[in-house]
């Protein structure tokens, strides 16, 4: 059951889901290229292998991989745009950048969703973009890691990785993994969501 904090304001009822501390998967105070799940040994054009399930901690997880006919730097830039992950009209994201020597980028996202007009769901995610191989100007591999750090009790746990692997100057292998423990969200929902992100990266 989801508990709400509500206020009766002139003309309407306003409700906010309470905050909930989240278990972390990463320590962004130091460089990390940790993958929560092993990436495929190779990426094959025209194939998008995926799987999903529920782990022993009751986290629903999903993974998908494929190739994208775009340079790795173009996908790196695209993943910094929250609309690549969240393109719903009822979603608002505020971004702040953190100065860092360990990462290509370290970003905090404040996310607000209004699924219905009188309910607001808010949470915070930290996103780290880490150079795994190559140079910042010519990366061969980039690991993107993210996790929920604060906010709604509707999402008890949320962590994920996106691996970008340069296959050629115009082709990138992409692997996405996410694990979630949230109300009204299944493992199939998780894999469908990250498959949608892969589709967006190809646009």
pLDDT of the chain, 203 residues: tens digit per residue: 334 444 444 444 444 444 455 668 999 999 999 999 999 999 999 999 999 999 999 999 999 999 999 999 999 999 999 888 876 778 899 999 998 999 999 999 999 988 777 788 899 999 999 999 999 999 999 999 999 999 998 899 999 999 999 999 999 999 999 999 998 889 999 999 999 999 999 99
User: CATH no. for residue 162?
Assistant: 3.30.530.20
In a domain, 25, yes or no: no
pLDDT recorded at residue 90: 81
Instruction: List, in order, residues 6 or more apart from 142 with CB less than 8 Å away.
Output: 72, 76, 104, 129, 130, 131, 132, 163, 164
- CB distance 33 to 142 below 8 Å: no
In a domain, 66, yes or no: yes
In this structure, the number of other CB atoms found within 10 A of the CB of residue 167 comes to 17
Domains in the chain, number: 1
- What range defines the domain where residue 174 resides? 58-87+127-202
In this structure, the number of other CB atoms found within 10 A of the CB of residue 176 comes to 24
In a domain, 76, yes or no: yes
In a domain, 4, yes or no: no
pLDDT recorded at residue 17: 45
In a domain, 17, yes or no: no
The model's pTM is: 0.86
């Amino acid at each position: 059951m989801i508990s709400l904090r509500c206020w009766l304001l002139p003309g309407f009822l306003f409700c906010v889901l309470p905050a909930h501390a989240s278990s972390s998967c990463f320590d962004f105070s130091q460089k990390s290229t940790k993958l929560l799940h092993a990436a495929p040994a190779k990426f094959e054009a025209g194939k998008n292998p995926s799987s999903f399930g529920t782990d022993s901690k009751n986290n629903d997880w999903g993974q998908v991989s494929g190739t994208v006919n775009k340079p790795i730097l173009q996908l790196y830039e695209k993943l910094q745009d929250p609309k690549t992950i969240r393109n719903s009209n009822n979603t608002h994201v505020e971004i702040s950048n953190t100065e860092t020597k360990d990462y290509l980028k370290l970003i905090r996202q404040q996310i607000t969703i209004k699924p219905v007009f009188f309910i607001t769901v808010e949470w915070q995610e930290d996103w780290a973009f880490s150079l795994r191989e190559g140079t910042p100007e010519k990366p061969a591999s980039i690991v993107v890691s993210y996790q929920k750090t604060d906010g709604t009790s509707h999402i008890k746990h949320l962590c994920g990785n996106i691996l970008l692997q340069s296959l050629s100057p115009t082709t990138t292998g992409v692997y996405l993994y996410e694990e979630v423990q949230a109300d009204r969200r299944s493992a199939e929902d998780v894999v469908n969501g990250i498959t949608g992100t892969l589709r967006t990266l190809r646009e």
